[in-house]
């Protein structure tokens, strides 16, 4: 639930943990439990989300929700619709504000299960995945966006392999999620969500991906990612972009990196 250039569940390849995961989850306490109840009830009354496949979501054990990504509010839509608590990564600035507005922001993001991360580079992407692995080791559910960032044109982009890496490493099942209409409720650039549109959240059959091979295999990660994206596409019905959702290149080196073959985590 962050801007397009930060890590939400999986916003980009440049986020690092801001706090110890177990400490943050423990600190959530009553704020998380009470806040999730209130926000979920309010969102269901105001937006009347149409939810399909809730019965397919495992109620216990580690779970990875892998979703398409259309809007800032996707990270509210998934926890509201899911039958169990869901955690995701959000940029640390949401937790660091001063005064009343800072307190409101901090309490809100805590209430919906966000874990703060700070931006970094290189190895930092794997550090962010490590945060989520720790949550899965605690039998919790996490949400990630394999596309990496929001789709500005509504198409479904190729998945990056970080989600598959996490699934193959932990053995956690992946529940594909198709979100429909969140981009109409809160388009990019909108300051407040609209109440004129209805959201649809579709949960698919859990995917067990270990047959592709170990997490250390690039081929296994790619094949597992393609399976995840095919399942998301079957739920969302979006047009396929057949390309990665790359951030604009700001210099010649960035343009070269985008052209050269490399694995998108």
Tell me the per-residue pLDDT of 140-197, one tens digit each, with 9 for 90 and over. Answer: 999 999 998 899 999 999 999 999 999 999 999 999 999 999 999 998 888 888 888 8
CB 57 within 8 A of CB 84: yes
Provide the 10 A C-beta neighbour count for residue 59.
9
Half-sphere CA count of 211, side-chain side, radius 13 A: 3
Provide the 10 A C-beta neighbour count for residue 196.
7
pLDDT at 14 over 50: no
Give the full edge-to-edge strand order of the sheet including 174-180: 50-52, 200-203, 174-180, 63-67, 141-144
Half-sphere CA count of 208, side-chain side, radius 13 A: 2
Phi, psi torsion values for 90, nearest 5 degrees: -135, 150
Of 2-11, 171-180, 220-229, the poorest mean pLDDT is in: 2-11
Provide the 10 A C-beta neighbour count for residue 41.
11
Q: pLDDT-based confidence at 259, cuts 50/70/90?
A: very low
Domains parsed from the chain with CATH numbers:
15-259 (3.40.1130)
Give the total residue count for the chain: 265
Binning the chain into helix, strand and coil, the percentages to the nearest 5 are 40, 15, 45
> What predicted TM-score, i.e. pTM, was given to this entire model?
0.78
């Amino acid at each position: 639930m962050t801007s397009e250039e930060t890590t939400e569940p999986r916003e980009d390849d440049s986020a690092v943990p801001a706090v110890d995961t177990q400490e943050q989850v423990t600190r959530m306490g009553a704020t998380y439990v009470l806040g999730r109840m209130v926000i979920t009830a309010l969102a269901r009354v105001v937006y009347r989300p149409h939810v399909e496949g809730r019965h397919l979501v495992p109620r216990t054990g580690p779970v990875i929700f892998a979703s398409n990504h259309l809007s800032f509010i996707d990270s509210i839509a998934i926890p509201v619709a899911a039958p169990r608590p869901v955690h995701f990564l959000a940029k640390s600035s949401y937790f660091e504000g001063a005064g009343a507005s800072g307190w409101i922001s901090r309490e809100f993001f805590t209430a919906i299960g966000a874990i703060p991360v700070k931006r970094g580079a290189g190895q930092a992407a794997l550090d962010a995945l490590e945060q989520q692995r720790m949550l899965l080791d605690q039998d919790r559910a996490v949400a990630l966006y394999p596309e990496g960032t929001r789709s500005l044109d509504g198409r479904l982009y190729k998945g990056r392999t970080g989600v598959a890496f996490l699934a193959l490493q932990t053995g956690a099942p992946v529940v594909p999620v198709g979100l429909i209409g969140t981009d109409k409720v809160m388009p990019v650039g909108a300051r407040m969500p609209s109440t004129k549109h209805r959201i649809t959240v579709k949960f698919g059959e859990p995917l067990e991906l270990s047959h592709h091979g170990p997490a250390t295999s690039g081929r296994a990660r790619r094949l597992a990612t393609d399976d995840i994206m095919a399942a998301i596409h079957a739920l969302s019905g979006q047009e396929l972009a057949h390309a990665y959702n790359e951030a604009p290149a700001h210099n010649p080196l960035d343009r070269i990196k985008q052209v050269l073959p490399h694995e998108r985590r």
